[in-house]
Structure 1
Amino acid sequence: MDKLYNMSIFARVVEMGSFTAVANHLDTTVGNISRAVSVLEDSLDTKLMQRSTRRLVVTDAGRRFYDRCVAILADVEHAEAEARDALLEPRGALRVHSVPGLGRNLVTRAVLAYRKSYPEVSVELLLSQRMPNLLEEQLDVGIVIARTLPDSAYVSQNIGTSHCILAASPAYLATHRAPACPDDLVDHQCVLLGTVDYAPDEWRLQSPAGDSIFRPTGPHFSVNDMDSMSHALRDGAGIGLLAAFSAIDDLRSGALVRVLPQYHTHVRNVYAVYPSRQFVDAKIKRFVESLKTHVAEPLEGYAKELEIAPALRTGPEVVRA
C-alpha cells in the first residue's frame, strides 16, 4: 500500500510540476512529498527526477514509469469505484467551474436540473473568467468558451457554440443614428468587452457579405463581465458586444435593440473540460449529459432565433500537449 501511495505522489508531482504544488494540494509538507519520491527511487534503484532549486525534470525512466503508474492507479481507482458503484450511480461531491455569463444563465439551470435527478450529489459552482487548473483546484468539470483550447492533458467535449452580437438601448439609438455598416461605429460610444477570449480593442465581425474588423478608438468604457455590459447598454452607455445568452431576454423585451443585425462575431466553442482518466465517475458523465440538454440546446435555439447558423458540435476529445 505504501508503494501505491508513493506512486500516486510521484504521478501528482509529474502532473503539477513541483513538490510545493502537490504539498499544498494534499495539505502536507514539501519534505513528505520529496521523501515519498525518494523512497520510490530507492526501491527501484532508478532516478525518476532530476531536482534543482529552480527546476524539476522527469528522466526518461521517470516518464516511462509515470505512464505505468497512471495505468495502475486508474485500475485501482476503478476497482474501488466499482465497489462503491461510483461508476454506475452519481454520488458524492461535484466541483464545477464556469465562465460567469454562461454560469449565471444556463449552467446554473443545468446544475439545478442535475440536482433534481441526482440528489445524492452535492454541487459547488464556481464562477470566474480565468481558465482554472482542474487538478490543483480539485475541480471535476470546467466550462469555458474559446475558439480553441490550450494544450493540456484534459479531456474536452464541445457542448455548443456561442456568438456575440452588437446591441444598444432604444434610448441611445433615439439620439444617435444607428450605424449602417461597421465603419459607422467610429461615430458611436463603444462599450468594450475584455475577457479571456475577447480582445477589447478589436471587434472581429462576420456577415453574409464578408468579414469586417473594427477597432474602437477614443474615450470608452471597458468591462470584463457580460452582466455589467448588459447593465451599461440598457442604461444607454453606447453600443457593445453581448453573447446571445446574455442578450436574448433584453432583446425579446425590447430593453435592447440589435445593431447591425446581419453581423455577429466568429463562433466560440463551449467546452466541458475534465481531467483525463481511464474511468470517469458517473457524476461527471451525467453532468456533461445535463450540460448538453440545458446548455447546448438553448444555445442552438438562441442562434436560430437570431438567425445565426450554429456550428456542428463534435464528440469527446483528448487535448494533450
Structure 2
Amino acid sequence: MCNSLGESMLDNLRGMAVFASVVGHGSFSGSARELGITTSAVSQQIRSLENELGVVLLHRSTRKLSLTEAGESFYEAAKDVVSAAEQGRIRVNQLRDELAGSLRIATTPELGVHHILPALSTWMAAHDDLSINYLADNHYVDMIDERIDIAVRMSPSIDDHALSSYPLTDVRQLLVASPQYLRQHPKIESPKDLSEHNLICIELTKDPAILELTQTETGKKTRIKMQSRMHTNNVFMATTLAKEGHGLIRVMEMDVRKELESGALVEVLTGYKLPSFVLYAVTLSREQQPAKIVRCLEVLKKYFQTN
C-alpha cells in the first residue's frame, strides 16, 4: 500500500514537471528536447497525469496547444513544484561545493614555510569560512588516524589503495656549502675530493652520509660515504649550520632557493647530480572528493607549475 502510494506520488511529480515543460515550450516536441526523452513519452506522461487527476489539462490541435480551465489552475501548482525542486537542487549543489568546514594539511616544516603557506595564502584569505589546520612534522603521518585531508610528501604511497597521489613537481637534490666554508677547506673538483670534507647529515633518509653522484655528461655513477660529526632531523637546523661554515649539506633545491639566490650557500660539483624526487599531494581515495580538497589541490598544482 505504501509503495503504491509512493510510486503514485512520484509519477505525479514527474508528470507535473513534464506538464510544466510542455506548457512552457508550447509544444510536446520542445518539451521532449529539453527533457531528453521522446515526444511520445511526453504525450504518455500527460495522458497518465490527466487520467490520474480525472480532468483534461490540455486542448490539443494540429497547430497548437491550449490550456483548459483546470489546466490553467494546475499549471500554477506545477510551476511551484518545479521551482521548489530546482531551488532544492541548487542548494544541494551549493552545500556540495561550499568551501567551508575544516581542512587538515600535513607537510614538513620546510615545505610548509617555504611553499605550502605561500601557495595557499591568497586562497585562504578568500575563503574565511574554511578552517585550516597545518600539521608540520618530518615524520610519516597516518592520514586516517590523524584525519588528514591532504599530505604533501616525497613518496606517492602507491601501495596503499586507501590513498590517491597527485604529482606536483620534480625536486632536485643539491650538495651545497657556504662560501666561507669553501674558502677555508680544500677545493671540491670531483666526488673523491668529498672525502676531505664534513657532511652535516639530515637524518630523514636511510644512510644520509652515503651519496650517489651521476656525472651529467657521461652518466657515470660514483658512490661515496662522507665523514660526518653533525646530525639533525631538521632542514632549518642543517641549513643554519651550513651557512655558518660547519660543513656541506645534501638538501632539496626548493628548501634552500633563497640562500642560493642570496649567495649565502652555493652548489658544489655542478657537473654532477644527486637522485631527484617527485613531490606529491596525497589524499584519501574517494569516488568524489569534497570541493575544498579539489580546490586546494588545484591551487597547489598551479603554484608548483608556476614556480
The TM-score, its normalising length taken from structure 2, stands at 0.66
Displacement, 1:297?
2.7
What residue in structure 1 maps to residue 157 of structure 2?
149
> Within the alignment, does 1:199 sit opposite 2:210 as a pair?
no
What residue in structure 2 maps to residue 119 of structure 1?
128
* Distance in 2 (alpha carbons) for counterparts of 1:271 and 1:214: 27
1:193–1:199 contact (8 Å) kept in structure 2: no
What SS does the aligned partner of 1:85 have?
helix
What residue in structure 2 maps to residue 182 of structure 1?
191
2:197–2:226 contact (8 Å) kept in structure 1: no
Of structures 1 and 2, the one scoring higher in RCO (CA 8 A, sep 6+) is 1
Alpha carbons of 1:198 and 1:243: their partners in 2 closer, same or farther (altered >3 Å)? farther
* Distance in 1 (alpha carbons) for counterparts of 2:128 and 2:252: 31
**Residue 138 (structure 1) aligned to one of 123, 128, 147:** 147
Displacement, 1:92?
1.0
Computing the radius of gyration from Cα coordinates, the structure with the larger value is 2
Gaps of 5+ in 2: 1-87
> Within the alignment, does 1:291 sit opposite 2:268 as a pair?
no
What residue in structure 2 maps to residue 269 of structure 1?
278
Alpha carbons of 1:187 and 1:86: their partners in 2 closer, same or farther (altered >3 Å)? farther
2:199–2:249 contact (8 Å) kept in structure 1: yes
1:182–1:212 contact (8 Å) kept in structure 2: no
* Distance in 1 (alpha carbons) for counterparts of 2:259 and 2:206: 22
2:186–2:196 contact (8 Å) kept in structure 1: no
* Distance in 2 (alpha carbons) for counterparts of 1:127 and 1:86: 30
What SS does the aligned partner of 1:83 have?
helix
What SS does the aligned partner of 1:191 have?
strand
**Paired letter, 2:235:** M
* Distance in 2 (alpha carbons) for counterparts of 1:119 and 1:237: 44
Deviation sequence 1:143-179 (CA, Å, 0-9, x none): 1013x53511211101111111111111111111231
**Residue 281 (structure 1) aligned to one of 275, 290, 293:** 290
Displacement, 1:84?
6.6
Alpha carbons of 1:213 and 1:100: their partners in 2 closer, same or farther (altered >3 Å)? farther
Displacement, 1:106?
0.3
What residue in structure 2 maps to residue 253 of structure 1?
262
2:214–2:220 contact (8 Å) kept in structure 1: yes
Alpha carbons of 1:198 and 1:116: their partners in 2 closer, same or farther (altered >3 Å)? farther
**Paired letter, 2:172:** H
What SS does the aligned partner of 2:188 have?
coil
Matches within 5 A, 1:1-321: 83=92, 85-146=94-155, 148-152=156-160, 153-195=162-204, 197=205, 199-208=207-216, 209-298=218-307
What SS does the aligned partner of 1:161 have?
strand
Gaps of 5+ in 1: 1-78, 299-321
Aligned pairs, number: 218
Displacement, 1:285?
0.4
1:163–1:265 contact (8 Å) kept in structure 2: yes
Displacement, 1:105?
0.6
* Distance in 1 (alpha carbons) for counterparts of 2:144 and 2:208: 30
What residue in structure 1 maps to residue 25 of structure 2?
none
- Let me know the Cα RMSD of the aligned residues: 2.3
Alpha carbons of 1:203 and 1:177: their partners in 2 closer, same or farther (altered >3 Å)? same
Displacement, 1:221?
1.2
* Distance in 2 (alpha carbons) for counterparts of 1:143 and 1:93: 17
What SS does the aligned partner of 1:294 have?
helix
* Distance in 2 (alpha carbons) for counterparts of 1:274 and 1:241: 29
* Distance in 2 (alpha carbons) for counterparts of 1:201 and 1:292: 32
